[in-house]
Structure 1
């Protein structure tokens, strides 16, 4: 059974992976408890890309403010994604949110990730990826960096598995690492906001179950035929 509240008695959030709750707990280990899964920082209740972002934010947030991440934990339980469009939309949203606040080196890396997001969006077709116009605008605003990124790209389209295992995690790493390296004021708040953007985007793009009773028209047709 999934619970949406942090159970009493669990340790406070701390950095890194823990063998058991007696040693501490990170963000995703807490999520595994709420999902009633085996204790793990890689639980099946959350898409791997979003879980990667959560672990990064957890580990780079200061001990003093890490506890403020706890209210977000229930939101990731059950967020398992919805195919390549979901992953691309999530990745692009995180990259675009971090882009203005990270150093130049991290901006280049994020734009390279957005190049991959754009390529995936083109391959999926118009309207398949949320935020495609914003991705296109960010690339248009940085033509030099985009040209540099494309020179290092093979040009071959990435499969869904490749995007999830390589491109998306790299964007998460660069977004979080860039915010930390920028030494911006109140970086803990910015990291928490970055995670919230990822969660909110994932929730908004999560496929909805088909409504119960979608076969009613055919049932009514069958009933009409039986009375004729």
Structure 2
């Protein structure tokens, strides 16, 4: 019995591209597959999920980036979420980053987690279960004691600040960067798993089954981006 050859994957590239002739990033390929104008911020994907996809795309090495391609179809149509969805994704990213983050970034991540639903002061947040509790558990079991104490002191000095898109965006950015820059030997795999987890949560929130979405086929993208 012969094993079928694996399908070729698109050679995704970092950054934004003016047209397919100059390459394609994760979200640009999503815009193409969705039949939208070429863009790295298409309407077919919620802005917070698109932000994370762009971060993971750009922080992934050239060698590993084609492995992200099978996830592209899974972000299409994931749009209809409330304001707390961005905070959900920020906590997902922070919880994934905390065990491997360098000390300077660990402090920023811990502070961000405290502000978005992990139990510091009277902060307003919209994150949904189970992520605030998982963030609290991660801070309890994964955070360095000095980093956590610093984060609590900083949160207390800051006082009440409304959270939302800005705080979520910043925490997602720092967390993805912390994973990519960590010394963990599987940092690239952790980045890809972060995006996979965020996509899985989007489908759970929207009540859709990612298993029903057709796999990415070469005929869908070979006219746009080169095969690896």
Q: TM-score range by the shorter chain?
A: 0.7 to 0.9
Q: What are the within-5 Å matches in structure 2 for residues 109-120 of structure 1?
A: 109-118=108-117
Give the match's secondary structure for 1:19. Answer: coil
Deviation at 1:51, TM superposition (A): 0.9
Higher RCO (Cα < 8 Å, 6 or more apart): 2
Q: What are the within-5 Å matches in structure 2 for residues 65-144 of structure 1?
A: 65-118=64-117, 123=124, 128-140=128-140, 143-144=148-149
Gaps of 5+ in 1: 1-7, 209-228
Deviation at 1:180, TM superposition (A): 2.1
Aligned to 1:199: 199
Deviation at 1:139, TM superposition (A): 4.3
Total equivalences in the alignment:
195
The question of whether the paired residues in 2 share the 8 Å contact of 1:115 and 1:150 is answered with: yes
Cα deviations by residue, 1:63-117 (Å, 9 ceiling, x for unpaired):
1111000000011111114112322222211211111111111111111221221
Separation (CA, whole Å) in 2 of partners of 1:32 and 1:45 = 7
Separation (CA, whole Å) in 2 of partners of 1:146 and 1:140 = 13
Give the match's secondary structure for 1:101. Answer: coil
Aligned to 1:145: 150
Shift in alpha-carbon separation, 1:147–1:90, aligned structure 2, 3 A: same
Separation (CA, whole Å) in 2 of partners of 1:116 and 1:19 = 37
Q: What are the within-5 Å matches in structure 2 for residues 1-228 of structure 1?
A: 12-118=11-117, 123=124, 128-140=128-140, 143-151=148-156, 153-158=158-163, 163-164=164-165, 166-206=166-206
Separation (CA, whole Å) in 1 of partners of 2:180 and 2:128 = 32
Shift in alpha-carbon separation, 1:97–1:20, aligned structure 2, 3 A: same
The question of whether the paired residues in 2 share the 8 Å contact of 1:85 and 1:129 is answered with: no
Bigger Rg, structure 1 or 2: 1
Gaps of 5+ in 2: 1-6, 209-228
Deviation at 1:135, TM superposition (A): 2.4
Shift in alpha-carbon separation, 1:150–1:98, aligned structure 2, 3 A: same
